[in-house]
Structure 1
Amino acid sequence: MKLGVFMVLFGGRPFEEALDLIAAQGLKAVEIGTGGHPGNSHCNPDELLGDKTALSNFKKAVESRGLTISALSCHGNPLHPQKAIAQEFHDVFVKTVQLAEQLEVPVVNTFSGCPGDHEDAKYPNWPVAPWPNDFQEILDWQWKNKVIPYWTEWGKYAADHHVKIGLELHGGFSVHTPATLLRLREAAGEVIGANLDPSHMWWQGIDPVQAISILGREGAIHHFHAKDTTIDPVNVNRHGITDMQPYTAMLDRAWQFRTVGFGHDMKTWADIISALRLHGYDYVVSIEHEDGLMSTEEGFTKAVKNLQQVLIEDSASDMWWV
Structure 2
Amino acid sequence: MKLGVYNAILHDRPLGEALKVIADLGLDGIEINSGGFLPPVHIQELDEIAADPAVAKKYLAQFERTGVSIAGLNCNGNPLHPNPEIGAKHAEDLRRSIRAAAALGQDRVVTMSGLPGGEPGATRPNWIVNAWNSAALDVLDYQWEIAAAFWSEIDQLAKDHGVKVALELHPQNVVFNARDARKLIELTGATNVGVELDASHLFWQQADPVAVVRDLGPLIFHAAAKDIRINPEHARLNGVLDNGFRRLSPDEPRTNLGGSEWANEWPQDSSWDFVALGKGHDSAYWAEFIAALYEIDPGMCLNIEHEDTELGPIEGLEVAAAVLKDAWGSYQGTNPEATRE
TM-score by length of 1: 0.93
Tell me if 1:262 matches 2:279.
yes
- Measured after TM superposition, the shift of residue 79 of structure 1 is 0.6
CA contact (8 A) 2:53 2:103 kept: no
Find the residue that maps to 1:298 and give its secondary structure: helix
Tell me if 1:201 matches 2:218.
no
Find the residue that maps to 2:70 and give its secondary structure: strand
2:180 corresponds to: 180
Map 1:75-90 to 2 at 5 A: 75-90=76-91
- Measured after TM superposition, the shift of residue 117 of structure 1 is 1.0
1:220-273 deviations in whole A, cap 9, x for unaligned? 111000000001112112222111223744540001100111111222212212
Letter in 2 for 1:288: E
- Measured after TM superposition, the shift of residue 49 of structure 1 is 3.5
1:292 corresponds to: 309
* Consecutive aligned runs of 4 or more in structure 1 exceeding 2 Å deviation: 46-55, 245-251, 277-282, 312-318
- Measured after TM superposition, the shift of residue 51 of structure 1 is 5.2
User: Cα 1:267–1:171, aligned 2, differ >3 Å: closer, same or farther?
Assistant: same
**More moved, 79-88 vs 305-314:** 305-314
- Measured after TM superposition, the shift of residue 279 of structure 1 is 3.8
Identity among equivalent pairs (%)? 34
2:258 corresponds to: none
Map 1:78-157 to 2 at 5 A: 78-144=79-145, 146-157=146-157
1:29-77 deviations in whole A, cap 9, x for unaligned? 1100011123211012135345544422210112331222121111111
The CA distance in 2 between the partners of 1:34 and 1:202, in whole Å, is: 26
**More moved, 219-228 vs 261-270:** 261-270
1:245 corresponds to: 244
User: Cα 1:123–1:251, aligned 2, differ >3 Å: closer, same or farther?
Assistant: closer
The CA distance in 2 between the partners of 1:40 and 1:116, in whole Å, is: 26
Q: CA RMSD in A?
A: 1.9
The CA distance in 2 between the partners of 1:23 and 1:297, in whole Å, is: 12
The CA distance in 2 between the partners of 1:47 and 1:299, in whole Å, is: 34
CA contact (8 A) 1:70 1:106 kept: no
Find the residue that maps to 2:63 and give its secondary structure: helix
Letter in 1 for 2:233: V
Letter in 2 for 1:78: P
2:254 corresponds to: none
**More moved, 227-236 vs 180-189:** 180-189
Letter in 2 for 1:3: L
1:303 corresponds to: 320
1:56 corresponds to: 57
Find the residue that maps to 1:115 and give its secondary structure: coil
Unaligned runs of 5+ in 2: 246-263
Tell me if 1:13 matches 2:13.
yes
2:230 corresponds to: 231
- Measured after TM superposition, the shift of residue 187 of structure 1 is 2.5
2:290 corresponds to: 273
Letter in 1 for 2:57: S
The CA distance in 1 between the partners of 2:123 and 2:52, in whole Å, is: 37
Letter in 1 for 2:173: F
CA contact (8 A) 2:22 2:68 kept: no
Find the residue that maps to 1:62 and give its secondary structure: coil
CA contact (8 A) 1:250 1:256 kept: no
Find the residue that maps to 1:63 and give its secondary structure: coil
Unaligned runs of 5+ in 1: none
Letter in 2 for 1:29: G
User: Cα 1:201–1:297, aligned 2, differ >3 Å: closer, same or farther?
Assistant: same
Letter in 1 for 2:203: W
- Measured after TM superposition, the shift of residue 26 of structure 1 is 1.9
Letter in 2 for 1:226: A
1:111-136 deviations in whole A, cap 9, x for unaligned? 00000011200100111112221111
Find the residue that maps to 1:83 and give its secondary structure: coil
Letter in 2 for 1:63: E
CA contact (8 A) 2:168 2:195 kept: yes
CA contact (8 A) 2:35 2:75 kept: yes
Tell me if 1:34 matches 2:34.
yes
Letter in 1 for 2:118: D
Letter in 1 for 2:59: F
User: Cα 1:317–1:64, aligned 2, differ >3 Å: closer, same or farther?
Assistant: closer
Letter in 2 for 1:198: A
